[in-house]
Amino acid sequence: MVKNLKSITILALITLVTICGVTSCKSSDGLTKKEYKARVEQATKDLNAILNNETEWTLEEQQARVNEIKQTDFSKKNPEIVEMIERAEAKIANEMAERDRLAEEQRLAEEQRLRELEEQNKPKTGLADFFNMIANAKDASTANGYIAEALKLFESPDAVVLIRLNNYGDYDRPTTAVNYLNYLKDQKKVNVNVDNIKYNAENKITELELIKK
């Protein structure tokens, strides 16, 4: 009985070897040795191409190929492929992040360019225009809004304002930008012309000279 059992076991092993020889026994992934070898070769080739920047695939296509390669279990027989997969994924992630950062920088730069273009094309309100707007404002709140806008033209609210009374060099008492603009709000009329303006390096008014009409 024991002898017969041994004979059956040996026969079964011989049969299995024979079958494997004929069919090239399949791996745990259901692949023949030939199929598995082909996948190893193709995965190695594609991963090297990705790691060495030797492919014309987009980053999304590269990630899709890596995901496809990961569907085969290489961890037991080819751990080096697993290591290549990890490096490829890290490389793709870094490049995607850098691409997104540059795209955001370009978006912000374009927004800034459009804002500057819009500002350049916006009709400019001159100092004399502000004088008339403040003096003719419908109410104090509106006048104060114009004053706030006009003060942006000055280096500071305390920029010097000189008022020349005539062509003989007689001047009224010096005042400041903010005080003179508030004076216009109270007087509700403009009786001066802009005679001379001094600017700083930022094109802000440092001193304003007016002359009585």
Domain ranges of the chain: 29-119, 127-212
Rounded (10°) CA dihedral 53, 54, 58, 61: -110
pLDDT for 25? 45
Task: Give the H or E element holding residue 172.
Answer: none
In degrees and rounded to multiples of 5, residue 155 shows phi and psi of -60, -40
* Low-confidence spans in the chain with pLDDT less than 70: 1-29, 122-124
- The model's pTM: 0.49
pLDDT for 123? 66
Number of helical H runs and strand E runs in the chain: 7, 4
Residue 134 CA: distances (Å) to CA of 11, 186, 196, 197, 198: 111, 9, 20, 19, 22
Condensed to tens digits (0 to 9), the pLDDT of residues 142-195 reads 999 999 999 999 999 999 999 999 888 889 999 999 999 999 999 999 999 999
Buried b (16+ CB within 10 A) or exposed e, 76-108: eebeebeebbeebbebbeeeeeeeeeeeeeeee
pLDDT for 4? 45
pLDDT for 122? 65
In degrees and rounded to multiples of 5, residue 207 shows phi and psi of -150, 135
CB atoms near residue 174 (< 10 Å): 12
pLDDT for 116? 85
Cα separation, 124 vs 195, whole angstroms: 19
